C-alpha cells in the first residue's frame, strides 16, 4: 500500500502547488478537506518555523498519514519585515487577497522603488506521530511593484516583482512559478526528505 501524505492546508492554491511539487516523493497526496478533517490548528507562533511545526504536529495525530505543513509569507524590508508570519491575516479577519495587496501598497506609497525590496519565505515541517521529523526552508527575493500586474497565483503575487524576469509572480505560468518560488525551493528540499522517509518505511 502506498503511504499517504496529508497537506495541512485549506488554501486551494497552495494545495494545488504542493500536489505538483511533491509528485514523485513516493506518497499519495491528500488534503484536509478531501479527508473531511475539521478544526484548525491555531498558528500562535512568532515565526514561520514555529507555525509550520505547530500545524504539522497538530495534525499528525492520525497514523494513516505523514503530515506536511508550511507557513509562508511576505517580508518587506521597508516595513521592518512585515507582514511576515501575519501575511495571511494582514488587514484583519475577512480581508481578501485584493484587500491585503491594497493595504500593502498604501503602507508603501511614499517608499521609492529602490527601497521596496522584499522576499517570500516558506518553511515546511514534516511530522509523524505528533513529532516533527523534517524542516525545510525556501526564499525568493524580489521587490514590491507600484501596482498589481497579472492574474495568476494568489496572495501577494500580483505585486511581487522579479527583476531578473521583468514580471510579477502573478504574470508567471504555474510551471515557471514552480521553478523559482519560495514554496518550490522548500518543497524540493522536502521531497528529498520524504523520499528518504519513504525508503525507511519499506519492508
Degrees (nearest 5) of the Cα angle 92, 42, 30?
Answer: 105
CB-based contacts of 186, cutoff 8 Å, min separation 6: 70, 72, 122, 123, 124, 136, 137, 138
Check: CB of residue 141 under 8 Å from CB of residue 185.
Answer: no
Q: Which of 71, 99, 110, 141 is catalytic?
A: 71
Q: Cis before residue 83, ω within 30 degrees of 0?
A: yes
d(C-alpha 68, C-alpha 186), whole Å:
12
Answer yes or no: 77 catalytic.
no
Q: Classify 84 as helix, strand or coil.
A: helix
Check: CB of residue 99 under 8 Å from CB of residue 123.
Answer: no
Active site residues: 71
Amino acid at each position: 500500500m502506498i503511504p499517504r501524505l496529508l497537506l495541512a492546508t485549506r488554501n486551494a492554491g497552495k494545495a494545488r502547488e504542493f500536489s505538483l511539487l511533491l509528485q514523485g516523493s513516493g506518497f499519495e497526496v491528500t488534503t484536509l478537506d478531501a479527508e473531511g478533517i475539521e478544526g484548525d490548528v491555531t498558528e500562535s507562533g512568532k515565526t514561520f518555523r514555529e507555525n509550520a511545526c505547530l500545524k504539522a504536529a497538530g495534525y499528525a495525530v492520525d497514523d494513516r498519514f505523514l503530515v506536511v505543513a508550511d507557513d509562508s509569507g511576505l517580508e518587506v524590508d521597508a516595513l521592518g519585515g512585515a507582514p511576515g508570519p501575519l501575511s495571511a491575516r494582514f488587514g484583519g479577519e475577512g480581508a481578501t487577497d485584493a484587500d491585503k495587496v491594497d493595504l500593502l501598497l498604501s503602507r508603501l506609497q511614499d517608499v521609492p522603488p529602490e527601497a521596496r525590496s522584499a522576499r517570500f519565505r516558506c518553511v515546511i515541517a514534516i511530522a509523524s506521530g505528533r513529532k516533527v521529523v523534517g524542516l525545510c526552508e525556501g526564499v525568493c527575493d524580489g521587490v514590491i511593484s507600484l501596482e498589481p500586474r497579472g492574474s495568476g497565483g494568489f496572495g501577494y503575487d500580483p505585486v511581487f516583482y522579479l527583476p531578473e524576469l521583468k514580471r510579477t509572480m502573478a504574470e508567471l505560468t504555474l510551471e515557471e512559478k514552480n521553478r523559482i518560488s519560495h514554496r518550490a525551493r522548500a518543497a524540493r528540499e522536502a521531497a528529498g526528505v520524504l523520499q528518504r522517509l519513504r525508503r525507511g518505511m519499506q519492508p
